[in-house]
Each structure stands twice: as structure tokens, then as C-alpha cells.
């Protein structure tokens, strides 16, 4: 079940989502991507566990091609942690929850 705390990011709203002092983890994904679907529940768990400390967003790369191009995303899933609009870290591929928690902790 998808978490209501996950923000659905779009090209037009992306800058406002990643700016600010609260770190934001963005999951670049597509509905046809098997590994993206595999980590979806982990993304939802992180949104619940880090509620108030980190924003969690998902961006469908098929519907929003501009932002993935700007960040040179060549493979999905790619997860990028932003703080104050700057990239703090990036992971590509379906990784375990522990690796994502470690990435998030860089921003807190």
C-alpha cells in the first residue's frame, strides 16, 4: 500500500520540492520497471519512518522527461538525495533499505 506521505514530483514542481532545509529523497522510476516496483514498498516505509525529517518523492520519468535529463539519469531506479536544492548523494539500482537509510542519514 502506497504511503500518503510520498510526494508525486513533476517537472514543473521539482525545484520547489527539493529546495529548503528538509532533505528530499527523490525516486526516479517508471511503471514498466521491475526493480522500481521492487523497491516501491521500501520507499513507502521510508516516507513513514522519516516523516517530518525527510521528504520522499517519486518522479515518473516517462511523464516528466525534463528533470531526469537535467540530472543525467540513464538508468532507473535512481534515487537522489537533495538538500537546499543541491545533490548530497545518489544510488542507482534496486538496493536494500539499509543503503537507502545510510543515504538519508547524510542529509539529516
35-94 tens-digit pLDDT: 999 999 999 999 999 999 999 999 999 999 999 999 999 999 999 999 999 999 999 999
Write down the catalytic residue from 6, 26, 33, 56. Answer: 33
Yes or no: say if 45 and 97 are a contact pair by the CB < 8 Å rule.
yes
Q: Is the pLDDT of residue 16 over 80?
A: yes
Question: Which CATH superfamily hosts domain 7-105?
Answer: Glutaredoxin (3.40.30.10)
Per-residue confidence (pLDDT) for residue 1, from 0 to 100? 53
What does each C-alpha distance from 47 to 21, 26, 66, 77 come to in angstroms? 17, 11, 25, 17
Does the active-site annotation cover 33?
A: yes
Provide the residue ranges of all domains of the chain, joining segments of one domain with +: 7-105
Write down the catalytic residue from 25, 36, 59, 76. Answer: 36
Does the active-site annotation cover 36?
A: yes
User: How many other CB atoms are found less than 10 A from the CB of residue 10?
Assistant: 15
Amino acid at each position: 500500500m502506497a504511503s500518503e506521505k510520498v510526494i508525486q514530483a513533476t517537472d514543473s514542481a521539482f525545484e520547489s520540492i527539493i529546495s529548503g532545509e528538509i532533505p528530499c529523497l527523490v525516486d526516479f522510476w517508471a511503471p514498466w520497471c521491475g526493480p522500481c516496483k521492487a523497491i516501491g514498498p521500501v520507499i513507502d516505509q521510508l516516507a513513514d519512518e522519516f516523516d517530518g525529517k525527510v521528504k520522499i518523492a517519486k518522479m515518473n520519468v516517462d511523464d516528466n522527461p525534463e528533470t531526469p535529463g537535467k540530472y543525467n539519469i540513464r538508468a532507473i531506479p535512481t534515487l537522489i538525495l537533495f538538500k537546499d536544492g543541491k545533490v548530497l548523494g545518489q544510488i542507482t539500482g534496486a538496493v536494500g533499505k539499509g543503503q537507502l537509510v545510510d543515504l538519508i542519514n547524510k542529509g539529516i
